[in-house]
Amino acid sequence: MTDIPVTEVLADDGEPIAVPLGSRTRSRGKRVKDALLGYLFLAPALIAFAVFAYYPLYKLFSDSVHRQPRFLNKAPTYVGFGQLQDTLTSSEFTSGLGHSAQFMLYSVPLGLVLGVLLAVSAHRKLKGIKVFQAIFSSTVASSVAVASVVFFTLVNPQVGYFKDVSWLSLDQPQSAMFSVALSSVWQNLGLTFIIVLAALQAVPDELNEAATLDGFGPVRRFFRITVPLISPALLFLAIVLVITALQAYAQIEVLTGGGPAGATETLLFKIADPKGIRPLHERAGLSIGLFVLTGAVALVQYSLLSRRVHYGD
C-alpha cells in the first residue's frame, strides 16, 4: 500500500488535522482560477472606467499644466503646476465657486424640505391617495431642459406669464439665481418625494402607535421617531442634491445664459464656456477644482451627517 504524503493544518477548533498535499495544491489552484475568473468579469467595467473616467482625468491634469499653442501644428508647451495654481486662485475660480455655493444653498435645503413635506402628506391610508402620489412624483420624468423651459415661460420678463415678477431682469441679479434654483427644486422634487415616501413606508406602524400611547404628539413623533428611521434616505438625498447642485448647467444656459452681468455663472458654466472666451488650460484647471471640491464636500457631508444617521438592525 502506497503512503500518501500528508501535512498538518489547524481546524477551526485549533486541533491539527491531516490533509493530503495534493488537495492543498488543488485548493490553491482553484482559488487562483476563481480570482482570474473574477478579474475577467470585472474587465469590462475596468476598461469602461479607464476610458471614460481615468483617462479624461489624466487629460485634465495634462491640459492644466500645458499651454496650448496658437497654431494646431505645434505641440503644447509644458509650463508646470504653477499654471494650475494660478487658475485655482484666480477670480474666475472664486467667483464661480461663490455662485455654485449660492445655487446650492438656494436649491438643496428647499428641495429637501419640500420633498419631505409632500411625502409625509401623501403617506396616508386614504381613498385616491395614489393619484396624489403620482402627481407629486411626476417631475421625476422631466429633464432639466424641460423644467427650465417651463420656468422660462413663467418668469421671463419679456415673454413670461408672470412678467411683473422680474426675477430674470438685468437689475435683479440675486433674484435671477433664485429663479434658476427654483426650477432645479421643481425638477428634483419628484426624486426626493419618491425616496422619502419609500423610506416612510418602511417605518413600522407599531412604533408610531406605541409613541402615541406614550403621549407623543404628531410633531414630536415625526422628529423623535420618523426622522431617525428615515435618516439614511435623507443622508443619501442630501449628498445627491449637493452634487447635482454643484453640476448645474442646463438650467442656467436656458434661463439666464450666465447673466445678468455674470451673476449666475457657476463653476460648471465657466468650465463649459459656451461663449468660448476661456483658454483650454483654464477650463481644465477649473474642472480639477470642481472635481476636488465635489469629492471633499461629499466626504465632509457624509462624515458629519452619518453620525446622526440611525441604521436599524
Q: What DSSP assignment string belongs to 218-284?
A: HHHHIIIIIHHHTHHHHHHHHHHHHHHHHT--HHHHHHTTT-STTTT--HHHHHH-TT--S-HHHHH
Q: How many helices (H) and strands (E) does the chain have?
A: 14, 4
Please tell me the distance from the alpha carbon of residue 278 to that of residue 276, in angstroms, as a whole number: 6
Check whether residue 169 and residue 270 sit in a common domain: yes
Q: If DSSP codes are grouped into helix, strand and coil, which group holds residue 6? A: strand
- pLDDT for 76-105, tens place per residue? 888 888 888 999 999 999 999 999 999 999
Check whether residue 141 and residue 258 sit in a common domain: yes
**Which CATH number fits the domain that encloses residue 204?**
1.10.3720.10
What does the buried/exposed string (b/e) look like for 233-252 if buried means 16 or more CB atoms within 10 Å of the residue's CB?
bbbebbbbbbbbbbebebbb
Overall pTM > 0.75: yes
Check whether residue 166 and residue 34 sit in a common domain: no
Please tell me the distance from the alpha carbon of residue 307 to that of residue 288, in angstroms, as a whole number: 29
Q: How confident is the model at residue 171 (pLDDT cuts 50, 70, 90)?
A: low
Tell me how many domains the chain contains: 2
- pLDDT for 177-235, tens place per residue? 888 888 899 999 999 999 999 999 888 888 888 888 888 888 888 888 888 888 888 98
Check whether residue 114 and residue 212 sit in a common domain: yes
DSSP state of 140: G
Please check whether residue 71 lies inside any domain of the structure: no
Please tell me the distance from the alpha carbon of residue 4 to that of residue 254, in angstroms, as a whole number: 79
The C-alpha cell that represents 46 in the structure block:
475596468
The number of beta carbons lying within 10 Å of the beta carbon of residue 17 is: 11
Cell numbers 476610458 correspond to 51
The C-alpha cell that represents 80 in the structure block:
508646470
Burial class (CB in 10 A: 0-12, 13-18, 19+), 279: middle
Q: How confident is the model at residue 26 (pLDDT cuts 50, 70, 90)?
A: low
Check whether residue 142 and residue 55 sit in a common domain: no
Please check whether residue 145 lies inside any domain of the structure: yes
Check whether residue 258 and residue 178 sit in a common domain: yes
User: Dihedral (C-alpha) 111, 112, 118, 119: value to the nearest 10 degrees?
Assistant: 140
- pLDDT for 256-311, tens place per residue? 888 778 888 999 999 988 888 888 889 999 999 999 998 898 888 878 777 766 55
Check whether residue 20 and residue 113 sit in a common domain: no
Which domain does 52 fall in, by range? 6-64
Please check whether residue 69 lies inside any domain of the structure: no
* pLDDT the model gives residue 72: 67
